[in-house]
A = this chain, B = another copy of it.
Amino acid sequence: MDRIRRFWGWGFEDAGLSHAEERALAKRIQPFIDIAPHPIIPPTPDELHLPAPRITPPDSLDPWCQSDDVARAGHTYGKSFRDVVRALERRWERPPDVVASPVDEDGVIAVLDWASRIDAVVIPYGGGSSVVGGVEAPANDDRPVISCDLGRLDRVLEVDSVSRAALIQAGVYGPSLEAQLRPHGLTLRHYPQSFEVSSLGGWIATRAGGHYATLHTHIDDFVESVRAVTPAGLWESRRLPGSGAGPSPDRLLLGSEGILGVITEAWMRLQDRPRFRASGVARFATFAEGARSARALAQSGLWPSNCRLLDAGEAMMTGAGSGEAHLLLIGFESADHPVDLAMARAAELARDHGGIVEIRRDGDGGQEHLDASDQWRSSFLRAPYIRDSLVCLGLISETFETAITWDRFDSFVDDIRACAENALRAVGAWPALVSCRLTHVYPDGAAPYFTILAPGQSSGRLAQWQEVKAEVMGAIVAGGGTVTHHHAVGRDHRPGYDLERPSLFAAQLRAAKRVVDPGAMLNPGVLIDP
């Protein structure tokens, strides 16, 4: 039986924190941050009273369309802090009139045809895990809204073991995708934090960041070809291992966030399942030393699969450390050859930069397995559920992520941290915790990821958040960073994105959109104003 999705927050009904866990969490937070005296109780389905849908699907689409309140509420927002707060406040702004869940590509075409006939907006919906306002209806647009949920296009259609690639439907979620590949001994190894509730098509549309901390940081490099449905017809690229024939067509769809077509299938490059592993943890007295070590590792050509630096606060909050040291988690994996020497060299590099290194040997048993790295990983996948509980406790819980070249790294991180702290103070959300980790590292820079935990005003939390968000986004873009390294732009990052991308490129993107979507039906207002 299918697990039930939380319509108001992250993931599945059966996977949130227990009451005991929530109480323990509250106890852990309380010494640092004021929490609300009474946690907010999440809404139940019977509390939903959405305005009646403005459209009715034609008979041919009806079997796989839903117009009930739970389906519509569950597709009204993504899963950002703002989304969860609005849901907890029982505010369902601009819910889709219909949730269409086609079972095949023809169904997707039928949805676009219908939308075209009735002049409706279509929002492509994968797992709905957007944290940037990527799947909600536009304001200032009174057309009816159809949320096109790809979740039933969930099959691996063809596996090419020789080339290690597979043709995969776009709506498949991470766990099902991996389960279908496992009998072939293959894996995509793309594990974003949203792994359980996000889809292949969503990853491609948003240039999702994944498992590998170096080298193949985004889904981009694993895309061999893409197929998408647009109002102007089918868009399909050729399956190729590499090409130099003009600008890459795939790279236009990668990151298009639903505005250039509904991705229905992709040929994806896969990996053999790893057989050799080595990992270690390096402890640093300062974050800057840890970052220099991460830089040396990123520039070494060793290409570790894990190279994630947690500052002391982050290490403590996730249970990976005591809060006294900054931790660099290093990992190597291979399906072909032992990686112990690579790990040993990485440890040398870390020691060269002041790190105290513990290497974990594969096969060490018992307690050793629960090392900092494991602790961090399980906490990583659980974090969004914890976030929901924190929001219920009245907190502001938000993340900002970006990327910056190494020459500007140290001062940039200090500036963003200070900016966030000042903004939190200015809106009265203080004392607060601002922590930082590096999620991905490159030879020429890194992707810092900031987590904010702050007390919110019982009413007005969103206004506080909005001000902090705007301040930090402004500082990131002014400091030379990107408005998003792997969370996408959506509606929330538009102000920063509009400053960041070349203005002529935005005009080119608008022109490219007009070609495939002359009626501006697809996710209007995301990335660009059509």
Contacts and interface: CB of A to CB of B under 8 A. Distances in A.
A245 B232 CA distance: 25
Given A209-B244, A238-B482, A444 B249 contact: no
A402 to B, nearest CB: 9
A242 B257 contact: no
A481 B497 CA distance: 36
A55 interface: no
A326 to B, nearest CB: 20
A241 B504 contact: no
Contact of A511 (B242, B403, B515): B515
Contact of A442 (B242, B249, B505): B242
Interface in A464-505: 480-489, 493, 497, 500-502, 504-505
A507 B234 CA distance: 13
Interface stretch (A101-109, A300-308, A427-435): A300-308
A-B residue pairs, 4 tightest by C-beta: A241-B445, A251-B251, A511-B511, A241-B442
Nearest to A243: B482
A343 to B, nearest CB: 12
Given A160-B405, A505-B237, A244 B484 contact: yes
B341 A345 contact: no
A248 B254 contact: yes
Interface string A216-254: 011000001000001011111111111111111101111
Nearest to A349: B336
A110 interface: no
Contacts of A509: 246-247
B247 A255 contact: yes
B444 A163 contact: yes
Nearest to A447: B242
Contact of A240 (B160, B232, B345, B405): B405
Q: Quick one: copies of this chain in the complex?
A: 2
A318 interface: no
Interface in A32-50: none
Interface in A122-173: 160, 162-165
Contacts of A345: 336-337
B256 A242 contact: no
B245 A493 contact: yes
Interface bracket on A: 35 or more
Contacts of A389: none
Contacts of A487: 244
Contacts of A244: 206-209, 218, 255, 482, 484-488
Given A301-B335, A336-B345, A504-B232, A255 B245 contact: yes
A497 B245 contact: yes
A180 B81 CA distance: 49
Contact of A164 (B215, B269, B299): B299
Nearest to A248: B251
A238 B162 contact: no
A514 interface: yes
Contact of A242 (B235, B241, B299, B445): B445
Nearest to A445: B241
A337 B295 CA distance: 16
A249 B497 CA distance: 12
Contact of A251 (B242, B247, B482): B247
Nearest to A446: B241
Interface string A364-404: 00000000000000000000000000000000000000011
B405 A484 contact: no
Contacts of A193: none
A418 interface: no
Given A245-B493, A501-B246, A162 B253 contact: no
A293 to B, nearest CB: 13
A500 B251 CA distance: 16
A239 B481 CA distance: 8
Given A247-B509, A507-B515, 16 more contacts: A163-B444, A236-B502, A238-B500, A238-B501, A240-B404, A240-B405, A241-B447, A245-B483, A246-B501, A248-B254, A248-B255, A249-B502, A269-B443, A269-B444, A302-B336, A507-B516
